[in-house]
Amino acid sequence: MTTLDFVMPSLGADMDSGTITSWMIKPGDEVARGDVVAVVETDKADIDIEIWNDGVVVDIVVPVGETVSVGTTLANIEVDAEPSATTPQPAATEPPPEPQPAGSTPQPPPPEPPTTRSESPASPPEPKTGWTAGSTAGADDRVAASPLARRLADERGVDLAAVAGTGPGGARLARDLPPAGRSEPGGTGTVDRPEQRAENGPGQRADDGAARMRKAIGELMARSKQEVPHYYLETTVDLEVALEWLQGYNATRPVDQRVLPAALILKATALALADHPEFNGHWIDGGFRPAPTVNLGVAISLRGGGVVAPAVHRAEELTVDELMAGLKDLVARTRSGRLRASEMTDSTVTVTSLGDRGVDVVHGVIYPPQVALLGIGRTAQRPAVVDGAVAVRRQVVITLAADHRASDGQRGARLLNTMSQLLQKPEEL
């Protein structure tokens, strides 16, 4: 038996820290590989985090409401053995921890999930709460409160001494504070903002949350443009055959089983990537690591702003119906804010589309450490030459933004041509 430090995972190349908003486990509980054990709030979304070991919970170190850096121990779990060799998060697909100083290179991920250590921590365990008066930097005679509660109290102009604390030893927690704009504190065990969700709609962030997401996306995109030598290719794909076929396919199905053209395009993308591995994987530590399967990141916009790109796993193996169901499910859970960590970190490539009323051509920015991003423009009727005569055809422009360290234009062109050819035989997708 060994003690596992279950740490705050990195849920994206741009993530520094997260806040636990609820725990699904308590000391004494048994856990199994793949169980969701907590919900973490990041700048981008609330993410369900999973554990990849079997074991028993010893204790919870970081409580609800506390913001901690990636890598901080969240809980201690007694595990039976070394983690199994095949984890759902192969090392190659895990984004590097956030490199802070300019010019630092991303750390290579360890060969095992980073939550495992076979020896006990060398230093004595931290006090569980760390909220005793004076424990925070610069504190003198302050009341006991969690770091999150202190920050929120500052922001809202609340006097902590006047708030009744429900934490250990009467410490004030985030949940004890009257939320901004309300006269009564919430009393739930999780950092719950039902009033904000009701006002803003599911999946939307509070005002400062939207700003934080914007900042996180901006930093990631800036880093991508600074570090990744992008090249861009585009091709016009005739979709007439595929859309005709799809219309026939959908006409016989109930409305909730209908397949969107997007699902056909995603399947074609996944199959093409399986045949062109230099576009499916990650640039880590100066080299390209191809991924064994296509975990297709799908860029989904949030109502009210912001984008997340969770993965449809093993997309090349799914039928078109399964891919459509997976896509529907991802969109629903993205908008309601219930994505899983494995979906946030496992993408091997990303596809973005601005929709049917978007623009003709989408030139994207790669999400590091991926090496490619496919852009799907809107489907439009355009004049084209078919069999020597002008005809009206529905077309879409598909673009590839690719990392020139991992591939060349010649190969990129072949990828796009493969996608185009696959879309001429929709029944085989």
Applying CB under 8 A, the residues found at the interface with another protein are: 200-202, 204, 247, 250-251, 254-256, 258, 260-262, 303-304, 327-328, 331, 355-357
CB of 303 to another protein, least distance (A): 5
Q: Which is nearer to another protein, 4 or 263 (CB)?
A: 263
Q: Which is nearer to another protein, 275 or 356 (CB)?
A: 356
SS3 per-residue string spanning 95-163: CCCCCCCCCCCCCCCCCCCCCCCCCCCCCCCCCCCCCCCCCCCCCCCCCCECHHHHHHHHHHCCCHHHC
Cβ within 8 Å of residue 199, ≥6 positions away? none
CB of 254 to another protein, least distance (A): 6
| 62/59 Cα distance (integer angstroms) | 9
| 307/167 Cα distance (integer angstroms) | 35
Tokens of 245: 């076929």
Q: Which is nearer to another protein, 110 or 201 (CB)?
A: 201
CB of 305 to another protein, least distance (A): 11
Q: Which is nearer to another protein, 165 or 261 (CB)?
A: 261
Tokens of 96: 């590097």
What one-letter code names the amino acid at 95? P
Q: Which is nearer to another protein, 38 or 262 (CB)?
A: 262
Q: Which is nearer to another protein, 74 or 243 (CB)?
A: 243
Q: Which is nearer to another protein, 19 or 204 (CB)?
A: 204
CB of 256 to another protein, least distance (A): 5
| 364/230 Cα distance (integer angstroms) | 10
Let me know how long the chain is: 429
CB of 329 to another protein, least distance (A): 11
As a dihedral over the C-alpha atoms of residue 159, residue 16, residue 329, residue 356, rounded to 10 degrees, the angle is: 100
CB of 251 to another protein, least distance (A): 7
Alpha-carbon torsion (373, 379, 384, 386), positive or negative: positive
CB of 330 to another protein, least distance (A): 10
